[in-house]
Chains A and B, each alone.
Chain A
Amino acid sequence: MQPILKVNLTSGETEEYVIPAEWENDYLGGASLAARLLYTVLTRDLDPVSQESPLLLLNGPLSGTAGPTVGRFVVCGKSPATELWAESNCGGFWGPELRFCGYDGLWITGKADTPVYLWLNNDRLEVRDARNVWGKDTYESQEIIKSEIGVPGMHVLTIGPAGEIGVLFAGLYCDHGRAAGRTGLGMVAGSKNLKAIAVKGTKKIPLAQPELFAPLRSAANHALKEDNLCHVYHELGTASVVDYADYLGGLPKKYFRSGTFESVGKVSGATMAETILAGTSACHACVIACGRVVRLEDGAKRKGPEYETIVSFGPDLLIDDLAAITRLGELCDRYGMDTISAGGTLGLAFHLFEKGVITTKDTGGLVLRWGDVKPVEQLLHLTAHREGIGEFLAQGSRRFGQHFGAEEEAVQVNGLEVAYHDPRAYSGMALVYATSPRGACHNQSQYFLVDMGQADASLGLEFYDRHAGAEKAANVARYQDWQTVFNALVMCIFANVPVETITGLINTACSLDWGPEDLFRAGERAWNLKRAINNRLGLTRANDKLPKAFLAPYQDGGSAGYVPPFNEMLEAYYTARGWDPVTGKPTSNKLAELGLEWVAQDIWK
Chain B
Amino acid sequence: MAAIFPSPEWLQILSDKLNSDERYAQIARNWEGDMCVVIEPSGPLTEKQQYYLDLWHGKCRKVQILKDMSSVQPKFILTATYDNISRIMKGQLDPMTAMMTRKLQVQGSMAYMMRNVPTVLDFVRCARDVTTEILT
Q: How far is the CB of B117 from chain A (nearest CB, A)?
A: 5
Tally of A-B Cβ pairs under 8 angstroms: 70
Docked Cα-Cα span, A240 to B106, in Å, equals 15
The residue that B100 contacts in the complex, of A240, A273, A458, A496, with Cβ under 8 A, is A496
Residue on B nearest A268 in the bound complex, by CB: B115
> Are the C-beta atoms of A456 and B101 separated by less than 8 Å?
yes
Q: How far is the CB of A373 from chain B (nearest CB, A)?
A: 25
Type the 1/0 row for A267-292, where 1 means its CB is closer than 8 Å to any CB of B: 01110011000000000000000000
Docked Cα-Cα span, A457 to B83, in Å, equals 15
The residue that B114 contacts in the complex, of A243, A453, A454, with Cβ under 8 A, is A243
Interface: A227 (CB within 8 A) = yes
> Are the C-beta atoms of A227 and B115 separated by less than 8 Å?
no
Interface: B96 (CB within 8 A) = yes
Q: Which residues of A contact B33 (CB under 8 A)?
A: none
A232-B110, A453-B100 given; A243·B117 CB < 8 A: yes
Interface: B118 (CB within 8 A) = yes
The residue that B102 contacts in the complex, of A235, A265, A496, with Cβ under 8 A, is A496
Interface: B132 (CB within 8 A) = no
| A453-495 interface (Cβ within 8 A of B) | 453-458, 463
Q: Which residues of B contact A235 (CB under 8 A)?
A: 109-111
Type the 1/0 row for B18-46, where 1 means its CB is closer than 8 Å to any CB of A: 00000000000000000000000000000
Type the 1/0 row for B105-127, where 1 means its CB is closer than 8 Å to any CB of A: 11001111111011000000000
Docked Cα-Cα span, A274 to B112, in Å, equals 11
Interface: B69 (CB within 8 A) = no
Residue on A nearest B116 in the bound complex, by CB: A243
Main DSSP-derived SS at the A contact region: helix
Interface: B94 (CB within 8 A) = yes
Q: Which residues of A contact B100 (CB under 8 A)?
A: 228-229, 449, 452-454, 456, 496
Interface: A241 (CB within 8 A) = yes
Q: How far is the CB of A60 from chain B (nearest CB, A)?
A: 24
| A414-470 interface (Cβ within 8 A of B) | 449, 452-458, 463
Q: Which residues of B contact A227 (CB under 8 A)?
A: 102
Total count of chain A residues near the partner, CB < 8 A: 30
Q: How far is the CB of B58 from chain A (nearest CB, A)?
A: 17
Q: Which residues of B contact A452 (CB under 8 A)?
A: 96, 100
Q: How far is the CB of A553 from chain B (nearest CB, A)?
A: 21
Q: Which residues of B contact A243 (CB under 8 A)?
A: 114-115, 117
Interface: A244 (CB within 8 A) = yes
Q: How far is the CB of B70 from chain A (nearest CB, A)?
A: 22
| B70-105 interface (Cβ within 8 A of A) | 94-97, 99-102, 104-105
Q: Which residues of B contact A536 (CB under 8 A)?
A: none
Interface: A257 (CB within 8 A) = no
B residues apposed to A, CB below 8 Å = 94-97, 99-102, 104-106, 109-115, 117-118
Docked Cα-Cα span, A451 to B134, in Å, equals 28
Residue on B nearest A247 in the bound complex, by CB: B118
> Are the C-beta atoms of A455 and B115 separated by less than 8 Å?
no
Q: Which residues of B contact A454 (CB under 8 A)?
A: 96-97, 100-101
Q: Which residues of B contact A269 (CB under 8 A)?
A: 111, 114
Residue on A nearest B113 in the bound complex, by CB: A232
> Are the C-beta atoms of A453 and B99 separated by less than 8 Å?
yes
A231-B110, A236-B110 given; A244·B117 CB < 8 A: yes
Interface: A226 (CB within 8 A) = yes
> Are the C-beta atoms of B94 and A231 separated by less than 8 Å?
no
> Are the C-beta atoms of A240 and B110 separated by less than 8 Å?
yes
Docked Cα-Cα span, A270 to B118, in Å, equals 15
The residue that A228 contacts in the complex, of B99, B112, B118, with Cβ under 8 A, is B99
> Are the C-beta atoms of B114 and A236 separated by less than 8 Å?
yes
Q: Which residues of A contact B111 (CB under 8 A)?
A: 235-236, 240, 269-270, 273-274
Docked Cα-Cα span, A449 to B100, in Å, equals 9
| A477-527 interface (Cβ within 8 A of B) | 496, 498
Q: Which of B94, B96, B113, B114 has the most CB of A within 10 A?
A: B114
Q: Which residues of B contact A496 (CB under 8 A)?
A: 100-102
Docked Cα-Cα span, A280 to B104, in Å, equals 26
Q: How far is the CB of B54 from chain A (nearest CB, A)?
A: 23
Docked Cα-Cα span, A368 to B124, in Å, equals 45
Q: Which of B95, B106, B109, B111 has the most CB of A within 10 A?
A: B111
Q: Which residues of B contact A228 (CB under 8 A)?
A: 99-100, 102, 104-106, 110
Residue on A nearest B100 in the bound complex, by CB: A454
